[in-house]
Structure 1
């Protein structure tokens, strides 16, 4: 793995945020469209967890070499390249709806999405001050989750059958490509690079690594299996609305995360959000009214999407600028491992009608206990070995 270091010349967040916004709408819609369109494409619904896991396997695989690509091409060209690669997989899914090819497409899509994440995160986090990095991270998360929520709302008007939904995704990805293609200024400059070793994983904050791992264990099934769970329930016509509520919850909680993160022990903060997630799932399982169900999914999204930014902040605080991309890359690996295992684990251990909610409850409850025990031991928010990266 390679770490790209920014020169003193400042970079602008315009291109990554604007391009990410178009990408997020497309991606939010696509993540639900893929499992929901299986039957319409004469594919078995049993393929859904495998498509989700192979996507995150691609995300994991891509994290090993993306920084090398960025080091050679620069952020702008890498951004364009990864978006085009993702677009090509969507075209392939439309033209050739075969199970084996969709698995390959989703694996390649995972690599492309890993590229988008690393390019955008490093572009935004390579700022001069910690305050700027925190502000840009909040902007990044808001754009990502806000766009994803809008994408979920497209399920009802566009449907999940035929080519039209996929053509909508292609159009949005094309617009995302145009942003860095037309705006050529504002990217960080590469100055030097160095390799990282696997042994350096042990030097990162363990609670931060657990937070990213659990985030993957939660979000993998939420994106890949939760739409199918809702579609098979009595609330099937409201699948898009409920999925949008999940992601909207992830968006609206970001300012709260940014406010509380420097004021509370981050392990305690992750424990509190995990506990909130447990309560939300009680509502998901037992809610008798649609309004309460929407509120429960909103809270579920807030709890699930809060863990990753808190963990990233935990590992990056007081970290030298030229160490940030290395740390975030390793955290992406932890998140990817959880995302690969999560959908398969959820599909394997959940056989009841409310299997997915009970799986998510188990993950959040276990995380809550772990983080409370860690906070009780007063583990510092910044582990000193991180500086050795």
Structure 2
């Protein structure tokens, strides 16, 4: 056996054994050292989750209008998309700790500045800056975790990363009940939580790692190898951006109380946590395309039923729980689907491209949702979600009929992947087997 160019052990017959050869560093990095990073990330996600739902409620009470509110909330995702690239540049220039401290401090200040300029243009710009900061912070955390990870700890680190990401977002949404959205207290709480993230990071004794940027892969190449993965990531981004961006706006316009607005959003993210692993496990045992088809069809059906249910009722919250459990795992399924078809040397680049694809979808989702609600009625929020998943259903069904799929025993291993992640998190993925080739053996994948 020999180590190949990307650090995977290759058998003499070309097979792959194990995962990336990443050694624990001399400073004793591991699960213990990663806790400071994950605690810091948890504070960031809680503060960011609170700010997102708070601003969604305030845009309604300030009379911004549905279409304008959608643009304001979409600005975060635009900032997030460009923030990963900026963070890579700053990391190479000044290092991890300085970048984290600078961006977390800026994000904390931005939270307070919303109180000084209450108008759509100012809030859109502030949301954009906040998105840049949060993206940069996650790049720091993810690249640091990658450097700490070994083959023995990789799976646990990824699980802890998922809990910090989705759990923090859920806790932040619940904190909407901690004060009056019309006052200043919740903005202050958001700012304090983000500032608190600086404590475990700056006091950590762990040395900062070198920066490793994934090798790029063109979108044209990725589409030729895994068109269904690209489409699923795009539509999943539209759905997630709509829910997280204008979900609170919709709930506020429907007249839900503060506690019900929080529960409306928490139900979706809680469903994501509950369904993520079971659906991923199923996708390792049956055709991945079939799982994507069924999950997208279920999400579209649930979104179609929700307008018929009383907003904020126990039934609507249960349906949102089920909807979140269907829509959020689609992004991880898209990642796994593409991983089955992309050559080993291009896996990192493919994952980075899918991150950008989903990010673009997250930008246009809130804009479309806000405009559609403004032109019709708030309940058409769900029609945007139906449409995004219907596109996946139709295209996946056509591909299943028109093209042969990869045998189940040649599929890679599914791993969870949060939407709010950058391309730096790609190395936390456990490597699947080599992709299925045109002749049925190992080698470059074929589009299916």
- Which TM-score band applies after superposition, normalised by the shorter structure? 0.7 to 0.9
Equivalent residue for 1:220? 241
Matched, 1:196 2:216: yes
Check the 8 A contact 2:251/2:261 in 1, yes or no.
yes
- Cα displacement (A) at 1:295: 0.8
Q: 1:272 aligns with which of 294, 309, 312?
A: 294
Q: Is the 8 A contact 1:50 1:343 kept in 2?
A: yes
Q: Does 1:37 align with 2:58?
A: yes
Aligned to 1:285: 307
Deviations 1:260-283 (A, max 9, x none): 342233322222221221232244
* C-alpha deviation, 1:303, in angstroms: 1.3
From the superposition, tell whether residues 204 and 84 of structure 1 become closer, same or farther in structure 2 (CA, over 3 Å): farther
CA contact (8 A) 2:56 2:247 kept: no
User: Which of 386, 396, 411 is the matching residue for 1:361?
Assistant: 386
- Superposition pairs of residues 191-270 of structure 1, within 5 angstroms: 196=216, 198=218, 201-202=222-223, 205-233=226-254, 235-237=256-258, 238-270=260-292
With over 3 angstroms needed to count, the CA separation of the structure-2 counterparts of 1:278 and 1:99, relative to structure 1, is closer
2:318 equivalent among 265, 271, 295 = 295
Question: What displacement does 1:315 show?
Answer: 3.7
- Does residue 1:94 correspond to 2:119, yes or no? no
What CA distance in whole angstroms lies between the structure 2 residues aligned with 1:320 and 1:186?
33
Task: Give deviations 1:224-281, integer Å, cap 9, x for gaps.
Answer: 2121212222544511111111111112223224423422333222222212212322
Match of 2:360 among 337, 340, 343: 337
Q: TM-score, normalised by structure 2?
A: 0.75
- Alpha-carbon distance in structure 2 between the residues aligned to 1:347 and 1:109: 20
Take 2:187 and 2:202, find their aligned partners in 1: how far apart are those partners? 22
Cα deviation, 1:39-89, whole Å, max 9, x if unaligned, reads 555755543111122222212222334333334444444333332232232
Deviation at 1:204, TM superposition (A): 5.6
Q: What TM-score comes out, normalization by structure 1 length?
A: 0.85
2:329 counterpart SS class: helix
Counting only pairs closer than 5 Å after superposition, residues 309-320 of structure 1 correspond to structure 2 as 309-316=332-339
How many Å apart are 1:378 and its aligned residue?
A: 3.6
* Cα distance per residue 1:317-336 (max 9 Å; x no partner): 69899866544332221111
Q: Which residue of 2 aligns with 1:61?
A: 82
Q: Any conservation in 1 of the 2:52–2:245 contact (CA below 8 Å)?
A: yes
Q: Which has the higher helix share?
A: 1
Q: In 2, distance between residues paired with 1:122 and 1:379?
A: 34
Alpha carbons of structure 1 residues 91 and 352: separation in structure 2 relative to 1, 3 Å: closer
Inter-partner Cα distance in structure 2 for 1:274 and 1:194: 29
- Sort the Cα spacing of 1:215 and 1:90 in 2 relative to 1 into closer, same or farther, 3 A: same
Q: Which 5+ residue runs of structure 1 have no aligned equivalent?
A: none
Query: CA–CA distance in 2 between the matches of 1:343 and 1:234?
Result: 20
Question: Bigger CA drift: 140-149 or 251-260?
Answer: 251-260
Q: Describe the shift of the 1:359–1:40 C-alpha distance in structure 2 as closer, same or farther (beyond 3 A).
A: closer
Matched, 1:370 2:392: no
Q: What SS does structure 2 have at the residue aligned with 1:38?
A: helix
Residues 318 and 142 (structure 1 numbering): CA distance in 2 closer, same or farther, change over 3 Å? farther
Shift of 1:128: 4.1
Residues 71 and 193 in structure 1, CA contact (< 8 A), matched pair in contact too: no
Q: CA RMSD in A?
A: 3.2
Q: Are the aligned partners of 1:25 and 1:147 in contact in 2 as well (CA < 8 Å)? A: yes
User: CA 1:282/1:100 → structure 2, altered by over 3 Å: closer, same or farther?
Assistant: closer
CA contact (8 A) 2:214 2:352 kept: no
Displacement of 1:207: 2.4
Q: Which has the larger radius of gyration?
A: 2
Q: Does 1:9 align with 2:29?
A: no
Structure 1 CA distance for aligned equivalents of residues 370 and 358 of structure 2? 19
Q: Is the 8 A contact 2:307 2:379 kept in 1?
A: yes
Q: How far did residue 144 of structure 1 move?
A: 1.5
Unaligned runs of 5+ in 2: 1-5, 7-19, 412-434, 437-442
Q: Quote the Cα distance in structure 2 between the aligned partners of 1:328 and 1:86.
A: 27
Q: Which moved more, 1:131-140 or 1:32-41?
A: 131-140
Give me the whole-angstrom Cα distance separating, in 2, the residues matched to 1:174 and 1:103.
22
Distance 1:273 1:218, change over 3 A: same
- Out of 174, 179, 195, the position equivalent to 1:158 is 179
